[in-house]
Structure 1
Amino acid sequence: MNDRNTPFEGFDRLFETVMRSMSAMPAAGTEAGVRSGRLRMEQTDEGYVVVADLPGFEREDIDLRFGDGVLTVEADSETETGGVTRSRRVTEGIRVPGDVDVADVEASYRNGVIEITVPVTDGGDESHHIPIR
C-alpha cells in the first residue's frame, strides 16, 4: 500500500465538500424560490420578485428586458485605470411563469442589488423595456 499523497487528494476533498454543500441546498421550485445564475425569483401574492446582486455596476450600466416569458438582466461596465481598460459583462435570464403585466413591472437598484417586481395578469406577453429607478 502506498502512503504517499497524490496531487489530486486536495481536489478530491474540495469536490466532496462542494457536493455535500450542494445536496444540502433546497431544490429549485421549492419554498426557497427559483434560482437562475445570479437571479433569484420568489413568488408573491401579486406575482414575482426577482433579485440579483450586481456589485460594481452603475444603474446606467444595467438593461432589463422582458419578452417571450423571459426576464433578462444585462449589465455592461468598462473602466479605465492607469491606461488599462477593464470590462465586465453579465447577462442572465429567468423564465417567469404566467402572463406578466409588462406595463406594471418595476425595478429598483440600490447598493449593488437590483430588485424587480413582476406582476402577473390575464393579459398577453409582449417584449417591453423596463426602466430602473
Structure 2
Amino acid sequence: MFELQPFRKGHLSKKDFFTNFFDNIFDEDFSPAGVFGSSFKVDVRETEKNFTVDADLPGFKKEDVNVSYKDNYLTIKAKREEEVKEEKENYIRQERSTGEVMRRFFVEDVDEEAINAEFKDGVLKIVLPKKEKVIAEKKVINIK
C-alpha cells in the first residue's frame, strides 16, 4: 500500500525504516530507470589492431545514444526523455524514467575515419582501429 508520511529527523521508528527500506530496495537496481543517477558499465579491450568498447545501455534506443571522438577523447552519451500522458485516475504510483548518462575515455593513435559503432540489445559496441605505425626513415644529411 502506498502511504505519504512526512519525514522528520528522529521521528522514524526502526520498524518503519526497515519496512520502507525493504519495500523500495528493488525499485532502482532492476529497472531501466536504475541506470540514471549513476554511470553505465563498459568493457574496454585492446588488441594489436584496435580498441573495442562495449557499453551496457539497457532501456535506451539507438536514437537515444550519441558517440563522438574529438581531441583523442571518445565520448558516449545516452539521453532519454520519456513523456507519457495517460488520462487515467486513481493512480497509486506512476513513474517516468528520464535522464542522461555520459562516459569519456582518452584513446590516442586512432584512425578517426575508420571508427564504427553498433547498437544491439542494449549494448553499444565501438571499434576504434589504431593508426598504422609509421616508422620514420633515417635521413642522411650530406656534409659539404
Normalising by the residue count of structure 1, what TM-score does the alignment of the two structures yield?
0.58
Identify unmatched segments of 5+ residues in structure 1.
Answer: 1-6, 8-35, 124-133
Alignment of 1:1-133 (within 5 A): 38-82=41-85, 86-96=97-107, 98-122=108-132
Contact kept, 8 Å, 1:38 with 1:92, in 2: the verdict is no
- Summarize the Cα distance change of 1:94–1:39 in structure 2 as closer, same or farther, 3 Å threshold: farther
TM-fit CA distance, 1:85: 5.0
Aligned residues: 88
Q: Which is richer in strand?
A: 1
TM-fit CA distance, 1:40: 2.1
**For the pair shown, which has the larger CA radius of gyration, 1 or 2?**
2
1:43 and 1:78 mapped to 2: Cα distance? 34
Q: CA RMSD in A?
A: 2.3
Among the aligned pairs, what percent are the same residue? 31
Normalising by the residue count of structure 2, what TM-score does the alignment of the two structures yield?
0.54
1:115 and 1:90 mapped to 2: Cα distance? 16
